[in-house]
Amino acid sequence: MISLKNPGQIAKMREAGKILREVEDEVREHIRPGVSTAELDILAEKLIRKNGAIPSSLHYEGYPCSICASINDEVVHGIPSERRILKEGDVVSIDCTLLKDGWQADSAFTAGVGQISEEAQKLIRVTEECFWEGVRQCIAGNRLGDVGHAIDAHARKNGFSVIREFTGHGIGREMHEDPSVFNFGDPGRGLRLRRGMTIAVEPMIAMGDWHLSIDDDGWCARTVDHSICAHYEHTIAITEEGLPEILTLPGFSWEAEA
Number of amino acids touching Co ion (CB under 5 A) = 6
CA-wise closest residue to 135 among 94, 168, 176 = 168
DSSP H or E run through 109: strand 103-112
Per-residue string for binding with Co ion, 220-249, x by CB under 5 A? -------------x----------------
* Cβ distance to Co ion smaller for residue 141 or 218: 218
Q: Which among 137, 172, 224, 144 is positioned nearest to 13, based on CA atoms? A: 172
Rounded to 5 degrees, what angle do the CA atoms 105, 135, 30 make? 50
Nearer to ligand MF3 (CB atom), residue 95 or residue 152 = 95
Selection from ligand MF3, Co ion, none that 60 binds (CB < 5 to 8 A by kind) is ligand MF3
For residues 241 and 146, what is the distance between their CA atoms, to the nearest angstrom? 19
- Rule CB under 5 A: choose which of 95, 129, 133, 146 binds Co ion: 95
Out of Co ion, ligand MF3, none, what residue 63 binds, judged by CB under 5 to 8 A for its kind, is ligand MF3
CB of 36 to ligand MF3, least distance (A): 18
When asked if residue 106 is in the footprint of Co ion (CB under 5 A), the reply is yes
Residue numbers at the binding site for ligand MF3 (CB under 6 A): 57, 60, 63, 68, 77, 95, 97, 106, 200, 202, 233
| 31-60 burial code (b ≥16 CB/10 A, e <16) | beeebbbbbbbbbbbebbeebebbbbbbee
| Cα diameter, the chain | 48
Shortest approach of Co ion to residue 79 CB, angstroms?
14
Residues 194-213 that bind Co ion (CB under 5 A): 200, 202
Name the E strands within 176-226: 177-181, 198-201, 204-206, 212-214, 221-223
User: Could you list the residues that contact Co ion (CB under 5 A)?
Assistant: 95, 106, 108, 200, 202, 233
